[in-house]
């Protein structure tokens, strides 16, 4: 049974650890952020039709959004480390609502780049993977991998819910109505965040779930043992984690997240059917990411990462030959199983190597590398489509890149304890 209120002022302990409430709020915020982030793939064809912008121009706005999302990650991670995730969550949701609502009123390409590329990117970055990692490491010691996996499924769940619904709204009501609906959903989340979100177990007189020897004491609220970024970047492990996550972003959010629906439409698959297939992919990813979180607590995370990247590479080698609904459905099942499964082992390796009090800052920059990869692939995929008339070469190149990511994962070492990177020992 979990820790009671501060100082033992009541005679009973709560049946439910409050960290699970925090996880639930973070999950809903994360799925909304992910649904918004992935929505541009639904709007690419309608924007082409209305404004006569080409695929590469729209992909440029998507790439800018992915880079901005990546830049927001270390900033929001640092803010979460200093001021707590609640404030970051409120600011991020506010930015999402403003950016999406204003995009519904745009009429020029530069407005798309500013509103979606910058404002929505900042909001999505603040409410995304780094916030999940911060919540998981603050509130949980035991089951941390599982919690990270649960929060990791927020991305696929958001796409499972939002992408098909948005496509129906776009086809029946128009793309502007779909964006306004997204903005209202984001605004509604401010209420539960204000009422129920808490920054730290100490706010409730608790210790992190699974803490040993800490019964009856509030969780310490300091950065003891934190590894500074300048020390972390001197290690090869930081660059291997960042490099493999660059591959993850390029082969997931950047290429597939941005261009899979347009690729399907190019081959005559109806818009709603293509969006529903992405929903299937999201559903499979819920299974894959939950399993990944469970396995991360039990299996060497490096081997898991190598397996995931190899599996992803094989599925991307298949995609150029997918030209009908049945083939797209098979790809969605195979690819979906490890879409976000890379997150739990990457977070676990970062926490083991650099310490949980550094997770917001260090993982934030690793996640920025993820978004650089995503932006590169989003822009490159659009350019390949314009130059060659299809996405085949882009998908094959991504498959090769995924195999490189598998090799990088196997080179990561975690034997050296994080205290060896402490500021007093990190050199000038």
Cβ pair 373, 309 in contact under 8 A: no
425: exposed, middle or buried (C-beta count within 10 Å: 0-12, 13-18, 19+)?
Answer: exposed
Q: What is the pTM of this model?
A: 0.68
Predicted pLDDT of residue 14: 53
- Residue of 286, 332, 87 lying closest to 190 (CA atoms): 87
Predicted pLDDT of residue 218: 37
Helix (H, G, I), strand (E, B) or coil at 28: helix
C-alpha torsion 29→34→35→40, nearest 10: 140
Distance, in Å, from the CA atom of 151 to the CA atom of 129, rounded to the nearest integer, reads 8
Q: What is the enclosing helix (H) or strand (E) of 193?
A: helix 190-196
DSSP character at residue 6: G
Distance, in Å, from the CA atom of 352 to the CA atom of 362, rounded to the nearest integer, reads 12
Distance, in Å, from the CA atom of 406 to the CA atom of 387, rounded to the nearest integer, reads 30
Residue 209, strand partner residues: 140
Predicted pLDDT of residue 238: 94
| Cα 225 versus chain centre, distance | 26
Q: What angle do CA 375, 381, 386 make, to 5 degrees?
A: 130
The domain ranges of the chain are 16-200+225-423
Predicted pLDDT of residue 425: 41
Distance, in Å, from the CA atom of 407 to the CA atom of 345, rounded to the nearest integer, reads 15
Predicted pLDDT of residue 216: 36
Within 13 A of 380's CA, how many CA atoms are on the CB side?
A: 20
The structure tokens 């490099």 sit at: 243
* Beta-carbon contacts of residue 56 (< 8 Å; ≥ 6 apart): 379, 382, 383, 385, 386
One digit per residue, the tens of pLDDT, for the chain of length 428 reads 444 444 333 333 456 889 899 999 999 998 888 888 878 878 888 888 888 888 778 888 888 887 888 888 788 878 887 788 899 999 999 999 999 999 989 988 899 989 988 999 899 888 877 788 888 888 887 777 788 778 877 876 777 788 778 888 888 888 888 889 889 999 999 999 999 999 888 888 888 877 764 443 433 333 445 677 888 888 999 999 999 999 999 998 788 878 888 888 888 888 778 877 877 887 787 788 788 878 888 889 999 999 999 999 999 998 888 878 888 888 888 888 887 788 889 988 988 888 766 777 788 889 889 888 988 898 888 889 889 888 899 999 999 999 999 999 999 987 544 444 544 443 33
Which CATH number applies to 16-200+225-423?
Answer: 1.20.1250.20
Handedness of CA 97, 98, 100, 102 (dihedral sign): positive
Distance, in Å, from the CA atom of 344 to the CA atom of 289, rounded to the nearest integer, reads 8
Distance, in Å, from the CA atom of 401 to the CA atom of 309, rounded to the nearest integer, reads 9
Predicted pLDDT of residue 393: 93
Within 13 A of 123's CA, how many CA atoms are on the CB side?
A: 29
Distance, in Å, from the CA atom of 106 to the CA atom of 402, rounded to the nearest integer, reads 37
Enumerate the H helices of 197-342 as residue ranges: 229-232, 236-249, 256-266, 271-296, 301-318, 325-336
Distance, in Å, from the CA atom of 77 to the CA atom of 197, rounded to the nearest integer, reads 17
């Amino acid at each position: 049974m979990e820790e009671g209120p501060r100082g033992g002022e009541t005679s009973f302990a709560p049946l439910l650890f409050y960290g699970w409430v925090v996880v639930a709020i973070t999950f809903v915020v994360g799925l909304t952020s992910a649904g918004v982030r992935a929505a541009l793939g639904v709007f690419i064809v309608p924007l082409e039709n209305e404004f006569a912008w080409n695929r590469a121009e729209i992909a440029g706005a998507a790439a800018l959004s992915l880079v901005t999302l990546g830049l927001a990650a270390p900033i929001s991670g640092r803010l979460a480390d200093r001021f707590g995730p609640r404030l970051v969550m409120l600011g991020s949701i506010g930015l999402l609502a403003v950016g999406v609502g204003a995009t519904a009123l745009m009429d020029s390409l530069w407005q798309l780049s500013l509103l979606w590329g910058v404002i929505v990117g900042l909001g999505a970055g603040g409410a995304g993977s780094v916030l999940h990692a911060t919540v998981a490491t603050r509130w949980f010691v035991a089951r941390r991998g599982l919690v990270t996996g649960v929060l990791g499924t927020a991305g696929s769940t958001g796409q499972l819910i939002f992408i098909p619904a948005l496509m129906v709204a776009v086809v029946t009501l128009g793309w502007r109505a779909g964006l306004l609906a997204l903005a209202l959903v984001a605004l509604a989340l401010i209420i539960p965040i204000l009422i129920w979100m808490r920054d730290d177990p100490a706010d409730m007189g608790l210790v992190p779930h699974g803490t040993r020897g800490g019964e009856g004491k509030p969780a310490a609220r300091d950065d003891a043992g934190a590894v500074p970024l300048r020390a972390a970047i001197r290690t090869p492990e930081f660059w291997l984690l960042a490099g493999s996550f660059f591959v993850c972003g390029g082969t997931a959010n950047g290429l597939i997240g941005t261009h899979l629906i347009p690729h399907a439409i190019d081959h005559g698959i109806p818009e709603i059917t293509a969006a529903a297939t992405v929903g299937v992919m999201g559903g499979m990813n819920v299974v894959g990411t939950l399993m990944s979180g469970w396995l991360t607590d039990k299996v060497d995370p490096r081997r898991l990462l190598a397996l995931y990247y190899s599996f992803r590479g094989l599925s991307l080698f298949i995609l150029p030959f997918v030209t009908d609904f049945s083939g797209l459905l098979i790809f969605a099942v195979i690819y979906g199983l490890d879409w976000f499964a890379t997150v739990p082992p990457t977070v676990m390796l970062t926490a083991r190597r650099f310490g949980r009090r550094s997770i917001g800052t260090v993982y934030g920059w690793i996640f920025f590398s993820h978004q650089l990869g995503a932006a590169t692939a989003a822009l490159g995929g659009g350019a390949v489509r314009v130059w060659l008339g299809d996405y085949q070469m882009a998908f094959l190149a991504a498959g090769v890149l995924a195999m490189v990511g598998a090799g990088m994962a196997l080179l990561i070492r975690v034997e050296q304890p994080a205290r060896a990177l402490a500021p007093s020992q990190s050199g000038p």
